[in-house]
Amino acid sequence: MFFFLPYNVRAMKACSFLPAATQMIYDMGLQHLLHGVTFECPPQALAEKDRAVRYVLEGKQYSSAEIDTIFSASKAQGKSLYYVDEELLQRIEPDVIFTQDVCEVCQIDTACTSAAISKLKKEPRLVPLTPQSLEDVYTCAVTIAQALGEEEKAYIYLSGLQKRTGAILDTLRQHKAPLKRVSLLEWIEPIYNCGHWIPFQIAQAGGIDMLSNPAGDSIFTSWEKIVRYNPEVLVIAPCGFETKRSLEEIHLLTARDGWNNLAAVQNGQVYVVDFDLFTQPSASTLVQGIEVLAALFHPELFPVPSALQHKVKTLQPVTV
């Protein structure tokens, strides 16, 4: 009787064309399968992996209004500001590439990726991740792990995260904490409300944003509408901007008529927060965002986690 041992199978090679997927791959301990990333991926990935996706505006500084104009013009012309390093991709020979179709402004999309891989000798499998809600983001973690042949890693990962969000909800119920009237802005010039999974984050933190668009795109919102809504808590987190960058343009809001009359301003509850807690939809960063929001909405019940305090800046009221 003969026993045949399985031949050595080449380890799967993956590329991630969106930072959220990269973060979740690292969170689940699957980074040994990752070979190519984008220019905006988390620092550890950028230090260890090749950059397969680049950006024509990389290293350049533009104002919020200029960025909005550039992206609007490129979209009107049917052009993308992102491109794939095709020579690098050919050397990697990936088996699977994670991409997205949620926002063509934020990251390279599946259509651009498809055009690039059509030139490869071996065409990899494309796995588009298109979450709309918070639950969809959790499902994306399972999709990633399944594609890498490690599905159980996702369930272990998500179980730990959901214990943290469950603890927040339990505390809110225990103290009968009232919902806070919130507005979270994804852009400030022009003003965009929040959409997709962010309204669900707000809800799990004990707030409600009636100007938001749950499970849908963020959309232009007039300043007059925000003044009429008069949020108790205002969170400013422009997509792609860390706190320091957002503060450089905060005058675009504070100089507006009616700013000082907002309840959030008068309550001292205007916060500038790093974008990645909201518009970088990895499961772990969004849970961190929920923890931060809970502390901002209900500081009597929750502290801002010490590891995240540098991502939050309380905007001091302007004295006149």
Per-residue HEC secondary structure of the chain comes to CCCCCCCCCCCCCEEECCHHHHHHHHHCCCHHHEEEEECCCCHHHHHHCEEEEEECCCCCCCCHHHHHHHHHHHHHCCCCCEEECHHHHHHHCCCEEEEECCCCCCCCEHHHHHHHHCCCCCCCEEEEECCCCHHHHHHHHHHHHHHCCCHHHHHHHHHHHHHHHHHHHHHHHHCCCCCEEEEEECEECCEECCEECHHHHHHHCCEECCCCEECCCCCECCHHHHHHHCCCEEEECCCCCCHHHHHCCCHHHHCCCCHHHCHHHHCCCEEEECHHHCCCCCHHHHHHHHHHHHHHHCCCCCCCCHHHHHHEEECCCCCC
Question: pLDDT of 231-273, one tens digit each?
Answer: 999 999 999 899 999 999 999 999 999 999 999 999 999 999 9
Question: pLDDT of 172-214, one tens digit each?
Answer: 999 999 999 999 999 999 999 999 999 999 999 999 999 999 9
Per the confidence metrics, is the pTM higher than 0.75?
Answer: yes
> Given pLDDT bands bounded at 50, 70 and 90, which one contains residue 12?
confident
Question: pLDDT of 119-148, one tens digit each?
Answer: 677 788 889 999 999 999 999 999 999 999
